[in-house]
Copies of this chain bind each other. A is one copy, B any other.
């Protein structure tokens, strides 16, 4: 047992971190997955489901479902692209507000982690995870 299974460790750490960020971002009414997805949408809206999926490395069907939840919450709007097959997503006013209100909360979480772990450590960890 030289090195414990990195996958198990990673899954576990991921669950803990998700719980932490979910709690942090909860006041604005979304979870971290939704908040993160909305940020991605904001960056290039309107964007098609497939394009979005490719960018965030999620299955297109996953994007479709997650986006529909956001739509039901009134945070995004779905439309059609020029290509009639394409479904496009755009943030609503409410969606933008969630991003604005959530930003400081997110920053707070980030800061709290940096204080606890150190910026250098965070950077290294980040780079390490990206290399996986």
A10 touches B5 (CB 8 A): no
B6 touches A122 (CB 8 A): yes
A5 touches B117 (CB 8 A): no
Q: What is the CA–CA distance of A129 and B89 in the complex, to the nearest angstrom?
A: 34
Q: What is the CA–CA distance of A5 and B117 in the complex, to the nearest angstrom?
A: 14
Q: What is the CA–CA distance of A3 and B33 in the complex, to the nearest angstrom?
A: 18
Q: Tell me the smallest distance from the CB of A16 to a CB of chain B, in Å.
A: 6
Q: What is the CA–CA distance of A12 and B119 in the complex, to the nearest angstrom?
A: 20
A-B contact pairs, 28 of them (CB 8 A): A2-B119, A3-B122, A4-B126, A5-B36, A5-B106, A5-B110, A6-B17, A6-B110, A6-B126, A6-B129, A7-B32, A7-B109, A8-B32, A10-B13, A10-B14, A10-B129, A11-B17, A11-B18, A11-B32, A11-B36, A13-B14, A13-B129, A13-B132, A117-B132, A124-B128, A125-B128, A125-B129, A128-B128
A binding-site residues for B, Cβ under 8 Å = 2-18, 20-21, 32-33, 36, 56-58, 106, 109-110, 113-114, 117, 119, 121-126, 128-132
New contact pairs (4) apart from A5-B106, A6-B110, CB-CB < 8 Å: A3-B122, A8-B32, A8-B36, A10-B17
